[in-house]
Structure 1
Amino acid sequence: MLNDRDQWFLWTPVFMALGTGTFFLLPSDPTLPEMLVPLMTFCAGIAVTPRHSVRGIILIAGLCLSLGFAAAGLSSRISGTSPIERDLLLINATGLINRIQPGQKTTRVRLSNIRNDRQQIVAAGDVDLIVSNKFIDSAIRYRHVMFSARIKPPDPPEIPGGYDPQRRAWFDGISATGFAWRFDAIDDGPAPLIDIDRVRLRIAGAFRSAMPERTAEIAVALTVGERRGIRQEDIHTLRDSGLAHLLAISGLHIGLVAGMTFFVLRALLALWPAIALRYPIKKLAASAALPVAFLYMLLAGGTIPTQRAFIMTAIVLLAVLADRRAISLRLVAISAIAILLTTPYALTGPSFQMSFAAVTVIVAVYEQAGDKIRLQFYPEGDPSVLQRTGRWLILTLCTTLVSTLAAGIATAPFAAHHFGQFALYGLLANILAVPVAAYIVMPALLLFVLLLPFGTISVIASLADWGIEHILGWAEFVTGLPNASLDGLSLPLTSVIAISLGSLWLLIWRQPIRFAGLLPVGLAIALTITSKQPDLIIERTGKWIALRSADESVGNIGEGYVSNFMRHKLDIGLGHQPVVSNMRCDVLGCRFQAGSHDIAYAIRGPALSEDCRQRGILISREPVPRNCPGPDIIIDRFDLWRYGAHAITLSGDSVNLTTVHDYQGCRAWSRHPACRSPDNQ
């Protein structure tokens, strides 16, 4: 490692990420001294210790870790927003429009300064409302609106260890979400709506007017970042084929827009000798690409993922301006540091994790093998134009193949952890679809937007429609292959961390010690194979139960709605069908056996008179009386209200019970009633 001293800096964001992750895994919020004292201690230690000594290296690592921890803690204290305490019905309330996300039939509107009809502040932060499009055209003329809506606090996670909407809302400044059935402009508002939202709405409307509904919604997603209008079957097809990343505006899209601007402008300037011979046209092109990428970020809604993608792209362009190598692991590390300092919460989301995993692996591969590949395709000599064109096409195909393979391998653990899904033929789908997206769809969409002030160009819209149809066609072809998608996968967080650290050890170091990184990767795979998934998932209101049978198939019972996301994450089959042969159900509830355990699911109160006389596990949507002596374990309505959704893992005679509260803890963003008990004060 001493011979790889120039690689030490690359571990800075890794230790910062470990500190940030530690903050989010704590069961309770740390105090301000607990956040700042370690940081100051490590700073003092470094000041009196030689940097290149073993002690100095350990102190620097500790400083990075404590810096990430403190940044996350301070971000939570500064930007965190408390949710409303309960559901509210608002009549003739007022608010200020902050952001608009257009959809096909409804629009998501973010409002601030919410006041009820008595002019009292209703929420500490913003409110996200779903509004029918019939109100939008008249309402957006002014920023000040009057509305009637039902709002509620952000929902808790659907399953233990799952996606946490409450945490996201806390850091996004959202106090409530809801649906408005009245939404009118107040013509004495303080100011008209910001122009960027008008532009986004006009672009979305132009695509919907110029293209068929199916492809228009995907075009809207790729330009203004709004995906709610896309058909569910298309979303499922793209996800199962491994192409869902094309819908989320990220580094790929902003990089393509900036790259197209850079190369086209540079080529045009090169045709003008008076400029090409006197001025650094490469830097001029980079200077122009930077504001274009910034405008695209604003058009996409300025969300955290697009901000992160812009930061990464901007650092690359600034490297060009500074005559530094534009793409390197060092610049990837600088981008990660910038994001971990400004938006630490991004670390917990799949967007950050999958983006940096893909970029890190791709850049590492090309740092080590890029020059060799280029020498193979561009040997010394003066080949003809035809030879150069052929070599360029082959090189483009090879780089696309290698990049897709590297990105697919890098993001697979995170896809399995967050979404419980892995596309077996994702490499094939990306090889077929990404070139169409990069060289046809994105240039056509960019040209369409640029020419929009001069009128819709039907030829360009037709070209974009053709490209999107081909992407969807390739996605349908891939999903039609046998076992195209594996759903219901479960990769524990510990396995994801071990795979990430082992892979980074393998990619960052240059000496043979790098291969030691294969050890934690192997241990993580072994841990994943031997880990047991929950046998039962109980929804937080008890309206449905997901049950895993002996053949590992999963079904659900109950009367509640199971979201499409949960169906795919848990691999729940459609329909409320029993998944075990010995299940008996009636209008009052169900009884079945899982392993050696008898389980009763009481849907209505009268079922408790019988269920309380039976041994085993009792799950009830109704409160269970104290004089219920039979069951060994009781989970009733109050337990679900107090602790959230439950997961039960059965192993022989033992029962392992985990809840959403176990994973969330008593944090600022989690409002579990259990945290208000004397034991948690």
Structure 2
Amino acid sequence: MQHRLETLLEAERDQLVLWLPVMLGAGVAAWFVLLRRSEWTAVLLALTATACLAAALGRGGRASRAVAVGALAMAVGLALIWWRAERVAAPVLARPAVAAFDARVERAEPLVARELVRLTLAPIDAPALPRRLRVNLAEADVPAGLTRRAVIRLRARLLPPPDAAVPGAYSYARAAWFAGVGATGRGFAPVRIVTPGDAELGLRATLTRHITERVAGSAGGVAAALATGDVGSIAEEDAEAMRAAGLAHLLSVSGLHITAVVGATMLIVMRLLALWPALALRVRLPLVAAAVGAGAAVGYTLLTGSEVPTIRSCVAALLVLAALALGREAMTLRLVAAGAIVVLIAWPESLAGASFQLSFAAITAIVALHDHPWMRGFAEVREKGLLRRWGRGAVLLLMTGVVVEAALMPIAVYHFHRAGLYGALANMVAIPWTTFVVMPLELLALLLDVAGLGAPVWWLVERALWALLWLARIVASAPGAVRAWPVMPDAAYALIVVGGLWLALWRTEWRRWGLAPLAVGSLWAAMTPAPDLLVSGDGRHAAVRTEYGAMALLRERAGEYMQNVLSENGGVKGAPMTLDGLPGAACSADLCAVDVAGRRVVMTRSAYLVPVRALIAACVGADVVVSERRLPVGCRPRWLRLERDVLARTGGVAVGLSGGWTATVRRAGDEHPWVLAAGREDSGAGFRRFRR
């Protein structure tokens, strides 16, 4: 057995290094999954002991070295994220408050489509407030001249960074912890500038404003996103259409954009330098062009806000240029692995975000596909007719799109609870259109604006972008374009990721073993039942599943965000209905009682106190009672009593009434710092819980 393993690893010796970032990421993931410091310490020691033991007893075999390096890399990943979480520690607001204070503006992000400006503020001489806040202001309340580094005086309603509303939803509390944001809220007029800030807007904001002034509506928002990464000017319905059509990646500055910038820069530099014969004969022009292209990649990354996909793409571009300069093969999985290691070392928390996962899954799938011997042979340039070359290119593009969509679909289902079905076809048109039409036109328009001659080209840019948005709307509105899914179990997602990596990173026949965890994880995810009842952490909002598979809301006036959260995490596409219109629901202004999956659910729905006797009478025969307030002692449902004190410990709750299961946002004994900072150390609710 050992000899067989050594033979397999010897055949895969060039691929072993690709697992280094995987094991580093596994250590980071272990820290997020495990709850307590004692568990982190125990795993850290166990991994270190495993590495030492493998190195001591392995007798120099490749298998022992692989185990030792892998265990050590996983230990480093766990220690790295633990250290990072402690290093960024900052005060967090304990409870909601209304405060008047002075603060320095660290960042101002216009959200034109929502008529808001999002400010990142550093309070001055306000010891009761966290060191960094995120506050939204209505556009009409923003004073003229508000720029970065300005000191402003305002009044705002502040809240602790919100945790996930229900199991499976996005947890801003975790993201805010690593960003150093201790509170969020809404500012009120009047807002006064105490000390002026920068005389001018930053380059990014100036360029965004310049573009949106020349291209109207969502087309201008997309144009700004392509140039600066700022998506605040895109209307929500158009952004949703881009997501549903599988084209949202075009709005996040990543590999496509960095490649276009570097390629265009190198082409222009090469052509200009070639006009100087004396220089062309004495200097290697490709090296000069590569150096200028590297500078353009770094500058573009800084301009667009240095987000994780952009940094990953910039690192990859720099490695490609270095490989070209050294005469090596440019695009390999080793390059992707190097980029992943750089990002994980600098920002280990990014592993838990959808951005990191989508970005690296896409590039890994593309490189692994085109690195396959059969694919290399098929893509090899041959002297054939024009139609055959175009046909081969179309097939390659379609195959790449299908593989990328297959790689991204589990990530989209896990994080966003939806998956598009026509993304590969849409990208066959959208990617070439954006790369070879939209971006060159936009670059030309910006260059011509220096001489005031860009208006005609901006007209072309606007028409090209409206064509892109038209494609997104057509694809998004097609029957079955988007499929909604309930929350995917963590373990099922882990199996899918392991299976996908096994298939992508190995080269010999044992790569096929990855099909087993991939199939098991996919089947598990597909068979996971949707919840019958969702309750938010404050108890004010709830939704039940109807017999037709839709979600019905407890409160008609639930905001758009909460409606989306409850429908998406319930595995339902489209706006939910209300309980008042549900047959069989008995609702008054204060109470709602409804039978769901053979269980009786009673919920309070108003801010007014219900008479104790009436409430106790409603509890009689109920299986589940939900309330944002404390319930009287006499209210004793047969199964779950989800009142204010219980929900304060558990956070949002998902309930499978037919299967008798529950899932909670917060877990008992969770010692992650964003949980402890909010005073939520304990989360026991007295009923069976598991993360789904």
Rounded Cα–Cα distance in structure 2 between residues aligned with 1:41 and 1:275: 59
Question: Could you say if the C-alpha distance between residues 218 and 11 of structure 1 is closer, same or farther in structure 2, counting changes exceeding 3 Å?
Answer: same
Match in the other structure for 1:247: 251
State the secondary structure of the residue aligned to 2:121: strand
| Between 340-349 and 271-280, the greater mean CA deviation after superposition | 271-280
| Between 94-103 and 406-415, the greater mean CA deviation after superposition | 94-103
Aligned partner (choices 343, 347, 355) of residue 343 of structure 1: 347
Question: Could you say if the C-alpha distance between residues 392 and 133 of structure 1 is closer, same or farther in structure 2, counting changes exceeding 3 Å?
Answer: farther
Aligned partner (choices 655, 662, 667) of residue 662 of structure 1: 667
Match in the other structure for 1:167: 174
State the secondary structure of the residue aligned to 1:288: helix
2:226 corresponds to 1:222: yes
Question: Could you say if the C-alpha distance between residues 656 and 417 of structure 1 is closer, same or farther in structure 2, counting changes exceeding 3 Å?
Answer: same
2:216 corresponds to 1:212: yes
State the secondary structure of the residue aligned to 1:305: helix
Deviations 1:187-216 (A, max 9, x none): 476xx37x7x52222222222221122311
Q: Which runs of 5+ in 2 are unaligned?
A: 1-7, 686-692
Rounded Cα–Cα distance in structure 1 between residues aligned with 2:464 and 2:346: 37
1:623 Cα deviation after fit:
1.2
Deviations 1:273-307 (A, max 9, x none): 44444322222222111221222222222233333
Question: Could you say if the C-alpha distance between residues 608 and 631 of structure 1 is closer, same or farther in structure 2, counting changes exceeding 3 Å?
Answer: farther
The letter for the 2-side match of 1:154 is P
Question: Could you say if the C-alpha distance between residues 261 and 80 of structure 1 is closer, same or farther in structure 2, counting changes exceeding 3 Å?
Answer: farther
Aligned partner (choices 313, 329, 335) of residue 331 of structure 1: 335
2:466 corresponds to 1:469: yes
Question: Could you say if the C-alpha distance between residues 673 and 198 of structure 1 is closer, same or farther in structure 2, counting changes exceeding 3 Å?
Answer: closer
Aligned partner (choices 107, 120, 126) of residue 117 of structure 2: 107
Match in the other structure for 2:132: 126
Residue 536 of structure 1 contacts residue 548 of structure 1 at CA under 8 Å; is this kept in 2? yes
2:72 corresponds to 1:68: no
Scaled by the length of structure 2, what TM-score is found? 0.88
Rounded Cα–Cα distance in structure 2 between residues aligned with 1:51 and 1:273: 57
Rounded Cα–Cα distance in structure 1 between residues aligned with 2:442 and 2:175: 31
Question: Could you say if the C-alpha distance between residues 129 and 45 of structure 1 is closer, same or farther in structure 2, counting changes exceeding 3 Å?
Answer: same
Question: Could you say if the C-alpha distance between residues 41 and 125 of structure 1 is closer, same or farther in structure 2, counting changes exceeding 3 Å?
Answer: farther
Rounded Cα–Cα distance in structure 1 between residues aligned with 2:584 and 2:32: 42
The letter for the 2-side match of 1:65 is M
Aligned partner (choices 580, 583, 594) of residue 581 of structure 1: 583
Rounded Cα–Cα distance in structure 2 between residues aligned with 1:427 and 1:452: 35
Aligned partner (choices 1, 7, 20) of residue 12 of structure 1: 20
Match in the other structure for 2:5: none
2:578 corresponds to 1:545: no
2:132 corresponds to 1:138: no
1:637 Cα deviation after fit:
2.1
Scaled by the length of structure 1, what TM-score is found? 0.90
The letter for the 2-side match of 1:127 is L
| Between 622-631 and 153-162, the greater mean CA deviation after superposition | 622-631
The letter for the 2-side match of 1:581 is P
Rounded Cα–Cα distance in structure 1 between residues aligned with 2:149 and 2:414: 43
The letter for the 2-side match of 1:472 is L
1:96 Cα deviation after fit:
2.5
Aligned partner (choices 678, 681, 685) of residue 675 of structure 1: 681
Q: Percent identity?
A: 27
Residue 547 of structure 1 contacts residue 554 of structure 1 at CA under 8 Å; is this kept in 2? yes
Deviations 1:386-445 (A, max 9, x none): x6x777655554443232222111101111111111111111211122211111112223
State the secondary structure of the residue aligned to 1:12: helix
Residue 206 of structure 1 contacts residue 456 of structure 1 at CA under 8 Å; is this kept in 2? no
Question: Could you say if the C-alpha distance between residues 676 and 32 of structure 1 is closer, same or farther in structure 2, counting changes exceeding 3 Å?
Answer: closer
The letter for the 2-side match of 1:94 is D
1:374 Cα deviation after fit:
4.0
The letter for the 2-side match of 1:371 is R
Question: Could you say if the C-alpha distance between residues 143 and 319 of structure 1 is closer, same or farther in structure 2, counting changes exceeding 3 Å?
Answer: farther
| Between 301-310 and 434-443, the greater mean CA deviation after superposition | 301-310
Match in the other structure for 1:266: 270
The letter for the 2-side match of 1:88 is A
The letter for the 1-side match of 2:63 is V
Rounded Cα–Cα distance in structure 2 between residues aligned with 1:352 and 1:300: 16
The letter for the 1-side match of 2:105 is I
Match in the other structure for 2:643: 636
Residue 624 of structure 2 contacts residue 637 of structure 2 at CA under 8 Å; is this kept in 1? no
| Between 321-330 and 32-41, the greater mean CA deviation after superposition | 32-41
Question: Could you say if the C-alpha distance between residues 536 and 267 of structure 1 is closer, same or farther in structure 2, counting changes exceeding 3 Å?
Answer: farther
Residue 551 of structure 2 contacts residue 576 of structure 2 at CA under 8 Å; is this kept in 1? no
Aligned partner (choices 625, 629, 646) of residue 622 of structure 1: 629
Question: Could you say if the C-alpha distance between residues 188 and 585 of structure 1 is closer, same or farther in structure 2, counting changes exceeding 3 Å?
Answer: closer
Match in the other structure for 1:352: 356
Residue 160 of structure 1 contacts residue 646 of structure 1 at CA under 8 Å; is this kept in 2? yes
Question: Could you say if the C-alpha distance between residues 678 and 378 of structure 1 is closer, same or farther in structure 2, counting changes exceeding 3 Å?
Answer: closer
| Between 261-270 and 1-10, the greater mean CA deviation after superposition | 261-270
Match in the other structure for 2:324: 320
Rounded Cα–Cα distance in structure 2 between residues aligned with 1:155 and 1:509: 41
1:38 Cα deviation after fit:
5.3
Rounded Cα–Cα distance in structure 2 between residues aligned with 1:285 and 1:390: 33
Aligned residues: 661
1:47 Cα deviation after fit:
6.2
2:74 corresponds to 1:89: no
1:108 Cα deviation after fit:
1.8
The letter for the 1-side match of 2:597 is G
Rounded Cα–Cα distance in structure 1 between residues aligned with 2:486 and 2:74: 31
Match in the other structure for 1:295: 299
State the secondary structure of the residue aligned to 2:630: coil
Rounded Cα–Cα distance in structure 2 between residues aligned with 1:569 and 1:247: 24
Rounded Cα–Cα distance in structure 2 between residues aligned with 1:433 and 1:677: 47
Aligned partner (choices 349, 364, 377) of residue 372 of structure 1: 377
The letter for the 1-side match of 2:378 is I
Q: Which runs of 5+ in 1 are unaligned?
A: none
The letter for the 2-side match of 1:584 is A
Question: Could you say if the C-alpha distance between residues 400 and 282 of structure 1 is closer, same or farther in structure 2, counting changes exceeding 3 Å?
Answer: farther
State the secondary structure of the residue aligned to 1:102: strand
2:308 corresponds to 1:311: no
Rounded Cα–Cα distance in structure 1 between residues aligned with 2:206 and 2:329: 39
Question: Could you say if the C-alpha distance between residues 321 and 541 of structure 1 is closer, same or farther in structure 2, counting changes exceeding 3 Å?
Answer: same
Rounded Cα–Cα distance in structure 2 between residues aligned with 1:503 and 1:307: 24
Deviations 1:210-264 (A, max 9, x none): 1122311222222222223321211221122111222222222223222322334
State the secondary structure of the residue aligned to 2:13: helix
| Between 572-581 and 529-538, the greater mean CA deviation after superposition | 572-581
Please give the residue correspondences for 1:435-446 in structure 2 after superposition, counting only pairs within 5 Å. 435-446=432-443
Question: Could you say if the C-alpha distance between residues 611 and 519 of structure 1 is closer, same or farther in structure 2, counting changes exceeding 3 Å?
Answer: same
The letter for the 2-side match of 1:363 is V
Residue 540 of structure 2 contacts residue 627 of structure 2 at CA under 8 Å; is this kept in 1? no
| Between 612-621 and 231-240, the greater mean CA deviation after superposition | 612-621
State the secondary structure of the residue aligned to 1:140: coil
Superposed CA RMSD in Å reads: 2.9
Question: Could you say if the C-alpha distance between residues 445 and 412 of structure 1 is closer, same or farther in structure 2, counting changes exceeding 3 Å?
Answer: same
Question: Could you say if the C-alpha distance between residues 608 and 187 of structure 1 is closer, same or farther in structure 2, counting changes exceeding 3 Å?
Answer: same
Residue 36 of structure 1 contacts residue 70 of structure 1 at CA under 8 Å; is this kept in 2? yes
Deviations 1:114-160 (A, max 9, x none): 12xxx233444421222344536412275333333222211110211
1:53 Cα deviation after fit:
4.0
Residue 96 of structure 1 contacts residue 111 of structure 1 at CA under 8 Å; is this kept in 2? yes
Rounded Cα–Cα distance in structure 1 between residues aligned with 2:669 and 2:166: 11
1:676 Cα deviation after fit:
5.5
1:271 Cα deviation after fit:
5.5
The letter for the 2-side match of 1:522 is A
